Amino acid sequence: MYKKTTLPNGIRIVTESLQHSKVVSVGVWVDVGSRDEHDLNSGSAHFVEHMLFKGTESRSAQDIAREFDVLGGSANAFTTRENTCLHATVLAKNLPVLADLFSDLLTRSLFADDEIERERQVILQEIHMVEDMPDDHIHDLFSPLLWGRHPLGKTILGSHEIVAAMDSRKLKEYMQKYYTADKIIIAAAGNVIHDDFVSLWQEKFEKFGKTSEPDLERDAPRQLSSSSKVYAKPLEQAHVLLGTYGLSVIDPDRYIYLLLNVVLGGNMSSRLFQEIREKRGLAYSIYSYAASYCDCGYLAIYLGVDRESVNESLTLIAKEINQLQDAPVSEAELANAKDFIKSGLFMSMENMEAIMTRIARNEMYFGKYIPLDEVVSSIDEISAENILQLSCTLFGRRKLTIAGLGPLENAGIDLRS
């Protein structure tokens, strides 16, 4: 059973009680991420997330780590372009301890200079690690081509220079400015009693008494002309990412968007995987994905391939995209794509963390609970004609934005083919 309570200061608490479960998954979600930054504080949201675990007025970093270990289950945190989340899955009896721990991290973190210096080195190593992983790094190289100087075009981790200059004052100011009551959602799924859960948090989070300032509202990015760029690097493989603008999280056609992605390159039976990997053996890794934000999105295709096969692979990708605009998908292909998405949804309902994430994101983006039956019904109603129309709208016979990373210098590679 789903329930929602809004505290007097605006913090929203949502729960889905599943009494058959032995555990509870809890997430404290803050509607702030790397897009809520500018050129001089890039990486702040991610740095703040790290520092929340590095000491409070009553707990050292080691105390915090030890308490999470003793609680058992799992605990972690992450930062995306639009959200920051602290989450843990614990036995139901440990909920009071977890609530006390999370509230301590969010209201009494010290941001001590010595801890900042240590964590700075960790984050710089994280940045270097991503740069050494070309199949990850290509996504960061692609973003500025698509979004330009908008914050969505910057990396979540931030630049070396900005991270190196970060200090306690800047991080505290960022948190005070953005971590406001109207941006916080506390979500729980599993063996939880809603009213008892609300009582655990109400007093602890009274500190968050202000709402965000009007000038902090997000600016929607503008769509740029398509472009391409090669980043030459002596690698064994060429890594290519190509894509176009897509739909937002809340777009009415979002389920059509999901199905289009599945048909194109979202699983092993997709057109791209079958044509480029299975039939021709040109690439070990090829897939598509749909990324969506509160006001925009993009649809992208990743390809890891030998340099000599880049042009052939890109020609085949263009052919598959054109075919999606020329004729409706078959009824069998559509049914398989629907079954793939629905199976994933049903299987996720066996996982408390997945349920917690779902109700938190629904509250964050839609301001309400969306029953699973409603999602399934919306997917079932989609026709092959719907996918054809959306394909024409998104791709529109226009060139895609493309980034290439690897041994591509002076190779005659045509990234605009």
- pLDDT by residue (tens digit) across 82-139? 999 999 999 999 999 999 999 999 999 999 999 999 999 999 999 999 999 999 999 9
Q: Is 200 helix (H, G, I), strand (E, B) or coil?
A: helix
> Can you tell me the distance from the alpha carbon of 194 to that of 7, in angstroms, rounded to the nearest whole number?
13
Range of the domain at 150: 2-214
CA 120 to chain centroid, in Å, comes to 23
223 assigned to some structural domain = no
Residues known to be catalytic: 49
Residue 342 lies inside a defined structural domain of this protein: yes
If asked whether residues 190 and 302 sit together in one domain, one would say: no
- 204 and 317 co-located in one domain: no
- Burial label, 315 (beta-carbon count in 10 A; 0-12, 13-18, 19+): exposed
Evaluate whether residue 34 is within a structural domain.
yes
**Cα distance between residue 34 and residue 13, in whole Å:** 24
- Say if 221 falls within a structural domain: no
Say which amino acid occupies 230.
V
pTM: 0.94
Query: What's the alpha-carbon Rg for the chain, to the nearest Å?
Result: 23
Same domain, 175 and 252: no
Please report which helix (H) or strand (E) contains residue 17, including its range. strand 12-17
Any idea what the CATH number is for the domain that residue 160 is in? 3.30.830.10
pLDDT of residue 247: 98
**CA 236 to CA 113: how far, in whole Å?**
41
Same domain, 139 and 15: yes
Domain boundary among 214, 244, 270: 214
Beta bridge partners of 26: 88, 188
Long-range contact set of residues 345-353: C-beta below 8 Å, sequence gap at least 24:
345/372, 345/375, 345/376, 352/18, 352/21, 352/23, 352/24, 352/25, 352/89, 352/189, 352/190, 353/25, 353/27, 353/74, 353/87, 353/89, 353/189
Structure tokens at 76: 């972690």
* Residue 44 shares a structural domain with residue 171: yes
Cα–Cα distance for residue pair 232/76, rounded to 1 Å: 35
The answer to whether the CB of 389 falls within 8 A of the CB of 34 is no
Query: In the chain, which stretches have pLDDT less than 50?
Result: 411-412, 416-417
Residues 102 and 182 in one domain: yes
Q: Looking at the structure, do residues 91 and 209 belong to the same domain, yes or no?
A: yes
Residue 281, judged by CB atoms within 10 A of its CB (0-12, 13-18, 19+), counts as exposed
Q: Which residue, 163, 181, 214, sits at the end of a domain? A: 214
Backbone angles phi, psi at 32, to 5 degrees: -150, 140
Please check whether residue 413 lies inside any domain of the structure: no
Residue 416 lies in a domain: no
Overall domain count for the chain: 2
Q: How far is CA 199 from CA 105, 138, 249, 359, in A?
A: 18, 45, 32, 20
Distance (Å) of CA 313 to CA 227, 310, 322, 375, 415: 19, 5, 14, 35, 10
Same domain, 317 and 238: yes
Each residue's pLDDT tens digit, 34-50: 999 999 999 999 999 99
Residues 160 and 124: beta-carbon distance below 8 Å: yes
Residues 244 and 117 in one domain: no
Q: Which residues pair with 241 in a beta bridge?
A: 302, 403
Q: Let me know whether 48 and 185 are in one domain.
A: yes
| pLDDT score recorded for residue 215 | 72
Kindly state whether residues 13 and 35 are assigned to the same domain: yes
Domain boundary among 214, 244, 278: 214
- Answer yes or no: do 182 and 314 share one domain: no
Instruction: Evaluate whether residue 239 is within a structural domain.
Output: yes
Degrees to nearest 5, angle at CA 213 with 207 and 215: 155
In a domain, 180, yes or no: yes
Residue of 403, 390, 363, 147 lying closest to 253 (CA atoms):
390
At 414 the pLDDT is 60
Torsion of CA 146, 150, 156, 162, to 10 degrees: 130
Distance CA 347, CA 406 (A): 38
